[in-house]
């Protein structure tokens, strides 16, 4: 099966990955988002299939055994995984893929699909990241310090990824991402 472009948005929780992903899907009809699976609880405003498929830990572990995932990882003590079948279905329809993954997931995905373009999205600062997480979650989550500690570790390895950008101001940052996407689409 011929592969189409894959863009993987990588970065810490709260950097803006899902906001960029939603905007790309609205602006580019040739992209499909692959909805990942997780064992974490739903947050306010989320529902099944948006932004994740929510499953019990036992079910997720069964899916791992059945090779359901291209990649999976344990993050913040919860499982996350990218299903293989929707990627194959998207390519069969001639669509490109865009995904939002953490560092572990992006590394594993890149091994499976070396042609994927990985874009690491940095927050402007740890203080701004803290503010965004608290705003998004409607208050400081119990694991805020763990998330911030993990964010610093993730940013320390951001050089592993194909491209990097800082999400200071959304419209300006999105224009930068759009330029990367347009270059990728032109070359594929």
CATH number, domain of 179, equals: 3.40.50.300
Do 116 and 108 form a contact (C-beta atoms < 8 A)?
A: no
Is 21 within a domain? Answer: yes
Report the alpha-carbon distance of residue 15 to residue 58 in Å, rounded.
Answer: 30
Asked if residue 36 belongs to a domain, the reply is yes
- How far, in Å, CA of 145 to CA of 165, rounded? 24
Is 123 part of a structural domain of the chain? yes
In whole angstroms, how far apart are CA 118 and each of 60, 161, 187? 25, 5, 16
What are the start-end ranges of the E strands in the chain? 6-10, 31-33, 37-38, 53-54, 69-75, 78-83, 96-101, 117-122, 163-166
pTM of the model: 0.87
pLDDT confidence band for 37 (50 / 70 / 90): very high
Assigned domain for 35 exists = yes
Residue 106 sits in which domain range?
6-187
Judged against a pLDDT cut of 60, whether residue 184 lies above it is answered with yes
Q: Does 1 or 48 have the greater pLDDT score?
A: 48
Compute the average pLDDT of residues 15-24: 93
Residue 70 located in a structural domain: yes
- Please tell me the total count of domains within the chain: 1
**Confidence class for position 2, pLDDT limits 50, 70, 90:** low
* Percentage of the chain lying above the pLDDT 90 cut: 71
Query: Domain for residue 100, yes or no?
Result: yes
**1 is a domain residue:** no
């Amino acid at each position: 099966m011929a592969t189409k472009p894959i863009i993987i948005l990588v970065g810490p929780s709260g950097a803006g990955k899902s906001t960029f992903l939603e905007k790309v899907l609205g602006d580019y009809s040739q992209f499909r988002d692959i909805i990942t699976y997780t064992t974490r609880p739903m947050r306010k405003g989320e529902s099944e299939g948006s932004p994740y498929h929510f499953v019990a830990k036992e079910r997720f572990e069964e899916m791992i055994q059945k090779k359901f995932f291209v990649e999976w990882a344990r993050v913040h003590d919860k499982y996350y995984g990218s299903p293989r079948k929707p990627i194959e279905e998207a390519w069969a329809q001639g669509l490109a893929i865009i995904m939002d993954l953490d560092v572990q997931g992006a590394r594993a995905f890149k091994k499976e699909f070396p042609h994927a373009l990985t874009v690491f999205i940095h927050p402007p600062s740890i203080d701004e990241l803290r503010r965004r997480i608290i705003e998004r979650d409607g208050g400081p989550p119990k694991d805020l310090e763990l998330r911030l500690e993990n964010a610093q570790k993730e940013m320390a390895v951001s050089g592993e990824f194909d491209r990097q950008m800082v999400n200071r101001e959304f419209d300006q940052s999105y224009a930068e991402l759009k330029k990367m996407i347009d270059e990728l689409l032109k070359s594929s």
